[in-house]
């Protein structure tokens, strides 16, 4: 397999390091094109009004790697179009620290990078570890590899994208795997209003995550029950149900 790996936590993050090393041990041919710094929650943003610079790095001896001063989506676009002189079989984005569940995938740089792979005609995986403490990426890396191999061996469609979330905790406490749909994630009191030293107000985006676990088919529910969530998603935002309704409008 020829793999392009990226992320939104930056090329020097621990998650991408463990993902690259795991794939290299499996004798995959690995290319890395990742942001030169953290670009979390950048969504599908691309750089239009300033140049992009790509610097080769030697972080991994057996992986050809570039750090790009752009977004995760920039990295995949630039990697596939210019930097990588090879036919890539799969794009893998991660391993992200923290969940990418439900409607949050719209904001996620991790998922957006994988979407760009699918848009460009390359099957893709976004992999996230739902954890902030006692972080161990080894199991998540193994899950990413196993699904990459399954996708490669089963000749999946080129616009295929899997969003995978691995629950927090030790491997032996994970109950299994569920194939899921996107759930609902909303935020209570999303902004904190503060005053600067000059008495002027500013707003800090924060908020308390409110996850709807009522849908037992959802990724949110699966993670809440300590299952790995594997959700196939697509970049086609068309509401086909509504399309059938508005066709009859006069």
pLDDT digits (tens, 9 = 90+) for 140-185: 999 999 999 999 999 899 899 999 999 987 788 899 999 999 998 8
Strand 29-35 relative to strand 54-57, pairing:
unpaired
Provide the pLDDT for residue 11: 97
Distance CA 168, CA 170 (A): 7
The pLDDT assigned to 228 comes to 97
Contact indicator for 103, 120 with CB cutoff of 8 Å: no
- Give which of 127, 184, 187, 123 is closest to 152, Cα–Cα: 123
* Residue 205 lies inside a defined structural domain of this protein: no
Candidates 143, 114, 150; CA nearest to 233 is 114
pLDDT of res. 132: 66
Of the candidates 159, 85, 91, 84, which has an alpha carbon nearest to the alpha carbon of residue 124? Answer: 91
Under the banding of pLDDT at 50, 70 and 90, the label for residue 16 is: very high
Would you say 113 and 26 are in contact if contact means Cβ atoms under 8 Å apart?
Answer: no
Give the per-residue pLDDT at 36: 96
Q: Is residue 24 part of a domain?
A: yes
Residue 208 forms part of a structural domain: no
8 is in an annotated binding site: yes
Per-residue pLDDT at 209 exceeds 80: no
What integer is the mean pLDDT of 231-238? 92
- 182 with 233: CB under 8 angstroms? yes
Give pLDDT tens digits for 3-13.
Answer: 999 999 999 99
Q: Is 9 annotated as a binding residue?
A: yes
Provide the number of structural domains found in the chain: 1
What range defines the domain where residue 118 resides? 2-182+213-246
Q: Is residue 189 part of a domain?
A: no
Contact criterion met (CB below 8 Å) for 104 and 43: no
Instruction: Give the other-Cβ count within 10 Å of 119's Cβ.
Output: 18
Residue 207 has pLDDT above 80, yes or no: no
For residue 192, is it within any domain? no
Beta-sheet strand order (sheet of 2-6): 54-57, 64-68, 29-35, 2-6, 90-97, 124-129, 161-166, 227-232, 176-179
Question: Among all chains, which residue has been given the structure tokens 């629950």?
Answer: 167
Q: Provide φ and ψ at 147, rounded to 5°.
A: -75, -35
Is residue 61 a part of any domain in this protein? yes
Q: What is the pLDDT of residue 102?
A: 94
CATH number of domain containing 53: 3.40.1210.10
Question: 238 vs 54, 117, 185, 231, 241, CA distance in Å?
Answer: 35, 19, 21, 18, 9
| Domain-embedded: residue 118 | yes
143 located within any domain: yes
Using DSSP's 3-state secondary structure scheme, residue 99 falls into coil
- 226 is known to lie in a ligand binding site: no
| pLDDT-above-70 percentage for the chain | 99
């Amino acid at each position: 397999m020829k793999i392009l790996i990226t992320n939104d936590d930056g090329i020097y993050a621990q998650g991408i390091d463990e993902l690259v090393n795991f794939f290299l041990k499996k004798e995959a041919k690995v290319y890395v094109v990742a942001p030169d710094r953290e670009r979390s929650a950048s969504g599908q943003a691309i750089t239009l009004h300033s140049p992009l610079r790509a610097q080769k790095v030697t972080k991994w001896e057996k992986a050809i790697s570039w750090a790009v001063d752009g977004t995760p989506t920039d990295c995949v676009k630039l990697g596939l179009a210019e930097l990588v002189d090879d036919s890539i079989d799969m794009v893998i984005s991660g391993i992200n620290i923290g969940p990418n569940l439900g409607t949050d995938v719209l904001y996620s740089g991790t998922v957006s990078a994988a979407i760009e792979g699918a848009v460009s005609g390359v099957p893709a995986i976004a992999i996230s570890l739902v954890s902030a403490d006692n972080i161990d990426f080894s199991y998540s890396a193994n899950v990413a590899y196993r699904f990459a191999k399954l996708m490669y061996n089963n000749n999946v469609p080129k616009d295929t994208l899997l969003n995978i979330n691995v629950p927090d905790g030790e491997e032996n406490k994970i109950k299994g795997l569920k194939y899921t749909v996107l759930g609902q994630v909303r935020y209570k009191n999303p902004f904190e209003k503060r005053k600067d030293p000059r008495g002027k107000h500013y707003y800090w985006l924060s908020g308390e995550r409110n996850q709807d676990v009522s849908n037992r088919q959802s990724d949110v529910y699966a993670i809440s029950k300590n299952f790995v969530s594997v959700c196939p998603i697509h970049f086609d935002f068309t509401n086909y149900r509504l399309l059938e309704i508005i066709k009859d409008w006069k």
